[in-house]
């Protein structure tokens, strides 16, 4: 058994206990690069438990600053809607460019769903941070403006 598999099993065992304090402590011992490889080795349920522990209001700022883009993308894909909202809110408030990079690492459908999960002001911040080619094509504001223009020139 490789070291990665052994660490993934250890982390999986700790994740199944549900003790958030122990989970955070064990995760804090890994370097960001090691944690990225471990996230790839965990199953979906363990990833969701990890996202639940790392996206708590107390530690979400540390999570955002310590994890690399691939790890953030893995967490976003596995997170529950509430955890995803907290993670994206922390990314938008702290580091919008990092948020854009993490959103670009997601598949297009997942990116659009993630943007729909957050509040309007956070969504606008995240969309502004994205490159033009990756922005959603329509939004409620854009659709309203298009309908108003259509009425004006009809």
Total domains, the chain: 1
Q: Which domain holds residue 9?
A: 3-153
Query: How many angstroms separate the CA atoms of 107 and 104, rounded?
Result: 7
Q: Which of 103, 28, 110 has its CA nearest to residue 72?
A: 103
**DSSP code for 80:** -
Per-residue tens of pLDDT for the chain, all 154 residues = 578 888 888 888 888 888 888 888 888 788 877 888 888 888 888 889 888 888 887 878 877 888 888 888 988 999 999 999 999 999 888 888 888 999 999 998 899 889 988 999 999 999 988 888 888 875 556 666 666 766 666 5
**The pLDDT of residue 102:** 92
Query: How many angstroms separate the CA atoms of 94 and 65, rounded?
Result: 9
Q: Which of 82, 30, 87 has its CA nearest to residue 62?
A: 87
pTM of the model: 0.77
Query: How many angstroms separate the CA atoms of 25 and 100, rounded?
Result: 28
For 149, residues 6+ apart whose C-beta sits below 8 A from its C-beta are none
Distances (CA, A) of 92 to 77, 115, 119, 125, 150: 17, 11, 11, 6, 33
Burial class (CB in 10 A: 0-12, 13-18, 19+), 140: exposed
What are 66's two structure tokens?
Answer: 């310590």
**The pLDDT of residue 147:** 67
């Amino acid at each position: 058994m490789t070291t990665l598999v052994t660490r993934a099993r250890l982390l999986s065992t700790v994740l199944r206990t549900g003790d958030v304090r122990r989970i955070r402590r064990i995760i804090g011992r890994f370097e960001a690069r090691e944690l990225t490889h471990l996230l790839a080795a965990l199953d979906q349920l363990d990833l969701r438990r990890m996202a639940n522990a790392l996206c708590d209001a107390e530690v979400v700022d540390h999570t955002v600053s310590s994890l690399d883009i691939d790890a953030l993308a893995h967490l976003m894909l596995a997170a529950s809607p509430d955890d995803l909202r907290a993670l994206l809110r922390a990314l938008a408030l702290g580091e919008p460019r990092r948020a854009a990079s993490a959103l670009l690492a997601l598949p297009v459908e997942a990116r659009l769903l993630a943007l729909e999960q957050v509040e309007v002001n956070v969504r606008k911040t995240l969309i502004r941070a994205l490159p033009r080619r990756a922005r959603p094509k329509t939004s409620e504001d854009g659709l309203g403006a298009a309908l108003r223009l259509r009425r004006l020139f009809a």
